[in-house]
Amino acid sequence: MRTTTAVGAGVVMAVLCYYVYVLLERHVPKEFAYKVYAEYAVPAALFVVLGAVAGYFMNKPAVVDFFIATESEMKKVSWSSRAALFGSTAVVIATVLLLAVMIWLADTGIVLVLTRGLGLW
């Protein structure tokens, strides 16, 4: 559980640091003498700081106890079978598609009434 949480935190930190890198790349003027250093050093420093903060919080006793309790509860969960999972997923996808078609038909009908019937547009 702690490993999965650490990996998830690492992914979130990496995406955030990449976003900061893209922002710096776009908004730091080309004339700035230390542009390359800013583009790479700031996201790297942010990654190190966020990693230290995540490591600090994930090693607190209360958080560790929560992870242990969560892992023990997850072992008690009765998971659906593969067939039931695929059946439920098919029902959800079919319902969403049917609803999308119904909304599209209603929207098209309203547009036709407003444009051709009432001549509003």
Q: Which residue has the tokens 């390359």?
A: 36
DSSP code at position 34: T
pLDDT of residue 104: 98
Residues whose CB is less than 8 angstroms from the CB of residue 16 and which lie 6 or more positions away in sequence, other chains included: 46, 50
Q: Which helix (H) or strand (E) holds 44?
A: helix 35-58
Q: Identify the CA nearest to 108 among candidates 116, 96, 119, 120.
A: 116
Q: Helix 35-58 vs helix 2-27: angle between axes, to the nearest 10 degrees?
A: 160
Q: Identify the CA nearest to 50 among candidates 19, 13, 79.
A: 13
For the entire predicted model, the pTM comes to 0.58
Domain ranges of the chain: 1-77, 79-121
pLDDT of residue 5: 87
Each residue's pLDDT expressed in tens, for the chain with a length of 121 residues: 778 888 999 999 999 999 999 999 888 888 888 888 888 999 999 999 999 999 998 889 998 899 889 889 988 998 899 999 999 999 999 999 999 999 999 999 999 999 888 877 7
Rounded CA separation 105/99 (Å): 10
pLDDT of residue 14: 95
